[in-house]
Amino acid sequence: MAFAESAPAGEFDCDVAVVGGGPVGLAAAIGARLRGFEVVVVEPRGAAVDKACGEGLMPGAVAELLRLGVRPHGHPLTGITYKSAAHPTWRQAGHDFRAGPGVGMRRTELSTLLTERAASCGVRFRLARVESLVQDARGVTLSLASGNGDLPSTLRSEWVFGCDGLHSSIRGMLELDPHPLRSVRGGASDCASTSPSRPGVTTSRCTGRPDSSSTSRRWASG
């Protein structure tokens, strides 16, 4: 990350630049826009990414989406159970949600709802990749590359939200080195997290209605 002695002359392009157009970035953009900030989302991909993470919305996430004006729809989730990959039949820990059900839905559908809500709030979008970041006492300047042969451009904002995922380029530019994950086993499950105290791989079982079949998912953080 580079630091400038003073801010370049001229107006800010926006109050908040959100780098990353996934569910977290879009939710952050909507939240900031609802508080009156001018927001631009910077995302190099023109379509929602279809992957498993983000498909199980816990009750708290459902409540927050409703507060943002997004109504998720899908399969109701009444609880969650973690099972050991080595001993799935007897080593497990589960919990039934007390604050109402969660929702299981495709990530692409969630992204579509969030994008539509963000656009209706006045959030603007830039189809570009962040090449560099320069911070000064007044704000941040992002250097952007569109990927279609256009000349590089800049985006000047007072704040930048780095919502570009596990392998965040913004985190690297800010030199915020995360704790490396180690592979360990223990407790009722193998578990995944960016926290050094909970590394490894998680096997989870998301339970729906008591009389319905359950969906198992496995993911890793690395």
State the span(s) of the chain assigned CATH 3.50.50.60: 1-55+106-177
Note the pLDDT of residue 158. Answer: 95
Where are any strands of DSSP class E within 20-174? 39-43, 56-57, 75-77, 79-83, 92-96, 102-104, 124-127, 129-135, 140-145, 153-162
- Tell me the percentage of the chain whose pLDDT exceeds 70: 72
Written as one letter, the residue type at 137 is A
Written as one letter, the residue type at 152 is P
CA-to-CA separations, 125 to 16, 136, 142, 159, 165, in angstroms, rounded? 12, 24, 14, 16, 18
pLDDT digits (tens, 9 = 90+) for 169-222: 998 898 886 665 554 443 333 322 222 323 322 223 333 333 333 333 333 333
Interatomic CA distance for residues 88 and 221, integer angstroms: 21
Domain 1-55+106-177 has CATH 3.40.50.720: no
CA-to-CA separations, 47 to 81, 108, 129, in angstroms, rounded? 32, 9, 14
Report the DSSP beta bridge partners of residue 77: 102
